[in-house]
Amino acid sequence: MKGGPDFFFEERFRSFDESWSVTLEDIDLDGDLDATVLSGVYLNDGKGVFTQIQKFRYRHYTSTGFAWGDFNQDTLPDLWISQSSRLDPGFNDRIYFNQANGELDAKTISSPDHSMDVAVGDVDGDGDLDAWVATGLSNPDRLWLNDGQGRFTDSGQQLGHHESVAVELVDFDKDGDLDAWVANSRGPSFIYENDGHGKFDAQENAFRFGTNEGAQALVVTDINSDGFPDGIVVRNGFRGGPGVVATWVNLGNNEFRAYQIFSEGYIFGLGAGDFDGDGDSDLWVAKDGPDEIWMSDRFGRYFDIGLRVGDSRSMGVAIGDLDGDNDPDAIVASADGNSSVWINREFPEIQSIRNQNGFIEIRFKGRLYAGRSPKGRFFPVEGASSPYRVSSELSHQFFIAR
């Protein structure tokens, strides 16, 4: 990619309110990904245009985690929202059961532990979805077991005391059950191994990651294409200063190795996706200021391609195909303005360049349409022309192939 990337992200619109969290799920089972942010649930028309169907009354400081799953086994995805507020620590988590008519019926989960994140999966092997809730304020995480009908019982396990901020349930050791990677804001992060029946290692036996600086965000993906899930965390800066992104490679024998440290700044979220279609997992770094796109070399290393997206204080990002063209797009949750939809686009491919009666004629492949530049303004080259007219009103735009 010596000449730079052959793709960019176009901001479709800012249609969501400010949010600290965002997630994607096909809520209405129509084949496209819908969006959930703190202001509510939005249905996708299949082309990346969203319409709100459910309103929530959360503020950005009251909730930081979403997880969709079919909790009551009626084939419809339901929603777990972890709630936290330093202004009101008594907030409880809520489950919204999908009613198939566009309505979500809320039920309260009594977990006033300053919940920061939630991950769902079948941890005890009984065929239904359970929930691991990451909690802050030095409270232990909670594991909730499902009876198959969407009724949850606290397992009673005391899991960590390091102000957890993020959790992922993944089978790290390939033994057929879900283990838990927990990122903590104070102290190191841990992987808790599952015994196959929903019992997890005590913290003193769990695999330890990083230093006492703590972490801000977590994403699990296969960064070196070896079939084993690896981890990427945002490591907090010293005494509240700028943080960095750190990768950990799964060696496949219950061991992990610190691999790479990159990016720097006030980073709040990560998202993984194959943005350039080359078969590996690239990375979206959501931060205070322009977000960064880092590309994978397929062997575990990331490199900066200089692509910057947006200009807001990004708190999180969800990656998925929003417009049905089979490449990953993004929704970015912003704390200082409306959250944004970003569509993955290709730059135009030139078909031919020739001298036509003293003018340079540039022909492009495919149908073209006007779109805003990802990096400021692009102007037509003086003295050049193409088969497509460029009006003065569009001088701040450029043409891309669709």
The pLDDT confidence band at residue 349, using thresholds 50, 70 and 90, is low
For residues 88 and 229, what is the distance between their CA atoms, to the nearest angstrom? 37
Residue identified by tokens 């990331």 is 302
- 323-333 in b/e form (b: 16+ CB < 10 A) is beeebbbbbbb
Look up residue 222 and give its two tokens. 């296969």
Match 């029946």 to its residue by tokens.
197
Q: Are 154 and 175 in contact (CB under 8 A)?
A: no
Tell me what pLDDT residue 177 has.
95
> Which letter does DSSP use for residue 172 in this model?
T
Residues 119 and 132 sit within 8 Å (Cβ to Cβ): yes
Q: Which residues of 234-270 are buried (b: 16+ CB within 10 A; e: fewer)?
A: bbbbeeeeebbbbbbbbeeeeebeebbebbebbbbbb
Least confident of 94-98, 110-114, 189-193: 110-114
Highest mean pLDDT among 35-39, 78-82, 118-122, 353-357: 118-122
CB 318 within 8 A of CB 300: no
pLDDT reading at 373 higher than 90: no
Whole-number percent of the chain with pLDDT over 90: 47
Report whether pLDDT(113) > 50.
yes
Nearest to 151 by CA among 67, 64, 73: 73
Helix ranges (DSSP H) in 268-327: none
Angstrom distance (rounded) from CA 229 to CA 246: 15
The answer to whether 234 and 166 have CB atoms below 8 angstroms apart is no
> Percent of the chain scored above 70 by pLDDT?
77
**Mean pLDDT across 220-241:** 87
**Per-residue pLDDT averaged across 357-378, rounded?**
51
pLDDT at 395: 34
pLDDT band of 188, cuts 50, 70, 90: confident
pTM for the complete prediction?
Answer: 0.84
